[in-house]
Structure 1
Amino acid sequence: MTESSPAAFKATQPSATQLLANLDSAAGVVLHKAATLSDDDLRSASALPSWTRGHVVAHLCGVANALARQCEYAVRGEKIDFYDGGYEGRTQAIEVAAGHGAAEHLRDLTGALDRVLTDMRGLADDGWQLPISYRDGVIYDGGLALWRELVIHLSDLELGRGPETWPADFCRHLFDFLQARVPAGLLLKFQPLGLPSFTLGNGGAGARTVYVSGILTDMAAWIAGRTPSLDSLRAEAAADAVDLPELLPWPAAVAPK
């Protein structure tokens, strides 16, 4: 049977008010968990290759400050690079801060999240549509990025908040944002347990179709490049069991030099 090209999956995006509530909630959980980390905990490995928990916390701090800077320049009608010093500056800042002690990490992360959330709370309704340099988007896009960073990297810290805790609306947002990871010529037909099916991919003549069944949070974890925590995913193509297909890299916001 020839597959027709499906319409792109499109999640219903949260309103600015709901997004801010999501950010407040996610930031609260991240700070609560970060407050439990000792110096030794921060030197321990995270779920990310070659990164300790200290690297993850330093990265979250850097992202929060970068997005605050985007907001602060945008309300003045200006744009600025996402990271001071570009990708190299980002990497250097993470390496420098990764070895900090627990008290310093918590102080810096608390300050960075308070800064960006205060900036976003102060926006007028139309302020969320002010242009920023991040992905050539608007502040609202930056808010979605912060939501992704907080929820996903909290799971990377491996502190009992894995992908199985991701809310359904967050999972749907990830499928929308990460459609770019599906290679050309591949259709992914997701069949989440107890929920409506959906398709990602461009299709076209000769497209390969792979059916992926399982629990929604495991699907979201896989498309986000994380290990599905409930081990529920099963893939099938042409009525045969197959391995999950390889996906393209995460769509980077800042290209390395």
Structure 2
Amino acid sequence: MTLSEGAALLPAIAEMQQAACQFRQWLADHGDDDIREPSALPGWSRAQLFAHLRGVGLGLARQLEYAKRQEIVEMYDGGMDGRNADIAKHAALEQPELLAELESALGRLSAALDALDDADLTTKTAYRDGNVTDVVNAGWRELVIHHADLRIGASSQDWSPAFCRHLFSFLEARVPEKTRLVLQPLGAQPVTLSNGNTSGKSYVITGQLNDIAAWLAGREPIGQVDAFAAADAIELPELLAWPSGVPAKQ
């Protein structure tokens, strides 16, 4: 890798590579029955998630490869319809073939990450109408969150503080309009999230850092997460959909 030492993305890339290594190892050690079991993501089997991660790896790799040439390419061939068809096709593969496909895709992503240098990070990409930094952060989210979703030994409790704080920033787009969330992780400084107009309701969300991040990401927290409005305990507020279609902030 040619990113300068101390570059902000290096910890994210290291966590991505660690997750990718564990995906390969678990899949190599388990058979067809294991990969057909449900993941923690409702309606998704492990095989479907592994197939999705294969597609993510290839999609992100080519974003980075094209950016190196100062070119822009769609994330998935055929858009979202192509993505969904590709997941269905590869989720039906038997374990050895799925493992080979996943290894190839993650290897290509790793090579694209290794080729990055500091000058690449602001190069424009198609992903979220953003740049190479946005692409790397997308890989960080996809690999780390789905590592927990797969139920292969990782959970949201393994997320690093930096990753949790990244989710707070990225998922601010899930906060409804006229709403303010004051996230109060135990033992840490509060973080205020809003999505435009804040003239409406304000909620205080308390819990461990990782549990608040899991809730914000639409995952079941392992520990307790509580909500308060005007000092009264209330149900956790509803959030907007995952912001996959929202252009990256410039």
TM-score by length of 1: 0.88
| C-alpha distance after superposition, 1:134-157 (max 9, x if no partner) | 011111211110010001011111
Provide, for residues 10-65 of structure 1, a one-character-per-residue CA deviation record: whole Å limited to 9, x for no partner.
Answer: xxxx6133333232223223323333332011111111222111100000000000
After superposition, the C-alpha distances for 1:109-163 in whole angstroms (9 at most, x for unaligned) are: 1111110111111122212222110011111211110010001011111122111
Q: Which residue of 1 aligns with 2:217?
A: 224
Match of 1:148 among 141, 144, 150: 141
Q: Secondary structure at the match of 1:27?
A: helix
Relative contact order, higher structure (CA 8 A, sep 6+)? 1
**Is residue 2:210 matched to residue 1:245?**
no
Distance in 2, matches of 1:17 and 1:216, equals 22
Q: Distance in 2 between matches of 1:250 and 1:91?
A: 17
Farther-moved stretch of structure 1 (32-41 vs 75-84): 32-41
* DSSP 3-state at the match of 1:171: helix
1:200: how far off? 1.0
Question: Which of 131, 134, 137 is the equivalent residue of 1:138?
Answer: 131
Is this contact kept in 2: 1:61–1:108, CA < 8 A?
yes
Aligned residue pairs, count: 242
Deviation at residue 221 of structure 1 after TM alignment: 0.5
What is the CA distance between 1:83 and its match in structure 2? 0.2
What residue number does 1:11 align with?
A: none
The structure 1 segments of at least 4 consecutive aligned residues displaced by more than 6 Å after TM superposition are none
Name the SS of the counterpart of 1:45 in structure 2. coil
Mean Cα deviation higher: 28-37 or 164-173: 28-37
Preserved CA contact (<8 Å) 2:179 2:198: no
Q: Tell whether the 8 Å contact from 1:16 to 1:128 is kept in structure 2 after alignment.
A: no
Determine if contact 2:36/2:45 at 8 Å carries over to the other structure.
yes
Q: 1:247 to 1:205 in 2, by over 3 A?
A: closer
Q: CA deviation at 1:210?
A: 1.1
Among 123, 128, 132, the alignment partner of 2:121 is 128
The structure 2 residue matched to 1:15, chosen from 1, 8, 29, is 8
User: CA 1:198–1:31 in structure 2 vs 1: closer, same or farther (change >3 Å)?
Assistant: same
Distance 1:210 1:29 in 2: 37
Residue 93 (structure 1) shift:
0.4
| Residues 43 and 99 in structure 1, CA contact (< 8 A), matched pair in contact too | no
Where do 5+ consecutive residues of structure 2 fail to align? 1-6
Question: Residues 47 and 111 (structure 1 numbering): CA distance in 2 closer, same or farther, change over 3 Å?
Answer: same
Distance in 1 between residues matched to 2:246 and 2:237, nearest whole Å = 26
**C-alpha distance in 1, partners of 2:179/2:27?**
39
Aligned mates of 2:67, 2:239 — CA distance in 1: 34
Given that residues 13 and 140 in structure 2 are in contact (C-alpha distance below 8 angstroms), is that contact kept between their aligned partners in structure 1?
no
Q: Return 18-27 or 114-123, whichever deviates more.
A: 18-27
Residue in structure 1 matched with residue 23 of structure 2 by the alignment: 30
CA distance in 2, matches of 1:55, 1:198: 35
Q: Secondary structure at the match of 2:148?
A: helix
- Structure 1's unaligned 5+ residue stretches are 1-13
**Does 1:163 pair with 2:163?**
no
Q: What is the alpha-carbon distance in structure 2 between the residues aligned to residue 214 and residue 52 of structure 1?
A: 29
Q: Where does residue 205 of structure 2 map in the other structure?
A: 212
- State the shift of 1:254 in Å: 8.8
